[in-house]
Amino acid sequence: MSQALAPGGVHVRAPGKLNLFFEVGGVQEDGYHDVASAYQAVSLFEDVWATHSDEFSVSISGTVEVSGVPADDRNLAVRAARLLAQRIGYSGGVHLDIVKHVPVAGGMGGGSADAAAALVACDALWGADLGGAELHKLAARLGADVPFALMGGTAIGTGRGDQLNPALAKGRFDWVVLPSDDGLSTPEVYAHLDELRGRPDIVAAPSVPEVAPAVLHALRAGDPVALAEHTSNDLQIAALSLRPELRDALELGEGSGALAGLVSGSGPTLAFLTADPESALELQITLSAAGFEALHVHGPVAGARVVGA
């Protein structure tokens, strides 16, 4: 990353995530679904530079299509900065320069990573030094996936997905990710799942969503083969129903050496778990030759961290 850092600026990097397991329960009174998720932070990062300014502003660029990302107060990173300023009584502003590598509206939590990065960057820039627990509280107010982008690693999320506990995970997991330029709206995918679950042939919502114990065992053992047997995502049926063409790509990946393939979060990004880095490279080559943009990433990686100041 060659971006120059203005004097006094802070550079933070925050990871995108994959959901290795995602069970969606019923809608709660607050309108949110109760979920149980196993998250893994992966080596596809957002870079955020924060520099002093009297106002709040943001500029956005990146290696992914960024035209759908709001460059005003609706931007989740700006909302994060404003929330922190309010919390500490800071009367100035900040300029945020976001360089995105996580596909937008792709189910990999890119906006949440930007928000987590903005919290960490402004905390350092403004000398607030709030500490992890306080930042986590602010993160949870910004969105269900923001606390995990702060924390990183591998974790189990319950409630809205924001009540996090680190999962004991050994070793490294290699994934091939197929992004898609045309994102899916997370609320739309949830709404479609609710609709589908009204049909007699579709499994109803679990009363208490729970991460399968076999997933935890596989993570603890650092065993991708065992993990592949138990990965699943309740939102997949809805994402595939909205984007039927993803089925062909899933089948191609699964038939080309992946241990498992799944829709990441609310999609449309697809993630293929592989046995090791060499298998991931082979699968990446196969999928690229078939015309897909295929990225080799690995997890777990750390959450939002200052990398330069």
- In the annotated binding site, the residues are 103-113
Catalytic (active-site) positions: 17, 145
| In the complex, minimum distance from the CB of residue 66 to ligand ATP, in angstroms, rounded to a whole number | 8
- Span 222-281, contacts to ligand ATP by CB under 6 A: 265-266
Read out DSSP for 217-245?
A: HHHHHT-HHHHHHH-EETTHHHHHHH-TT
Element (H, E) at 190: helix 186-197
Measured CA to CA in angstroms, residue 179 lies from 23, 125, 161, 213, 263 at distances of: 22, 33, 23, 29, 10
CB closer to ligand ATP, 139 vs 279: 139
CB closer to ligand ATP, 35 vs 76: 76
Binding residue positions for ATP: 103-113
- Span 133-152, contacts to ligand ATP by CB under 6 A: 145
Which two structure tokens, joined as six digits, stand for 157?
């999320």
| In the complex, minimum distance from the CB of residue 278 to ligand ATP, in angstroms, rounded to a whole number | 29
- Residues in contact with ligand ATP, counted by CB under 6 A, come to a total of 22
Interface region with ligand ATP, contact rule CB under 6 A, candidates 32-40, 69-77, 192-200, 216-224: 69-77
Question: Is residue 157 a contact point for ligand ATP (CB under 6 A)?
Answer: no
Question: CA nearest 128: which of 80, 56, 162?
Answer: 80
Q: Which of residues 40, 51, 75, 274 is near ligand ATP by CB under 6 A?
A: 75
Residue with tokens 């106002």: 55
Q: Which of residues 54, 63, 68, 141 is near ligand ATP by CB under 6 A?
A: 68
| In the complex, minimum distance from the CB of residue 217 to ligand ATP, in angstroms, rounded to a whole number | 26
CB closer to ligand ATP, 252 vs 263: 263
Question: Is residue 18 a contact point for ligand ATP (CB under 6 A)?
Answer: no
Which two structure tokens, joined as six digits, stand for 227?
């993990």
Binding mask 91-130 for ligand ATP (x = CB under 6 A): -------------xxxxxxxxx-x----------------
Pairwise CA distance, residues 81 & 91, whole Å = 12
Residue 207, SS3?
coil
Question: CA nearest 45: which of 227, 231, 308, 301?
Answer: 301
| In the complex, minimum distance from the CB of residue 198 to ligand ATP, in angstroms, rounded to a whole number | 23
Measured CA to CA in angstroms, residue 279 lies from 54, 215, 252, 291 at distances of: 50, 21, 15, 19
Residue 184, SS3?
coil
Question: Is residue 187 a contact point for ligand ATP (CB under 6 A)?
Answer: no
Pairwise CA distance, residues 114 & 210, whole Å = 28
Interface ranges with ligand ATP (CB under 6 A): 68-70, 74-77, 104-112, 114, 145, 183, 186, 265-266
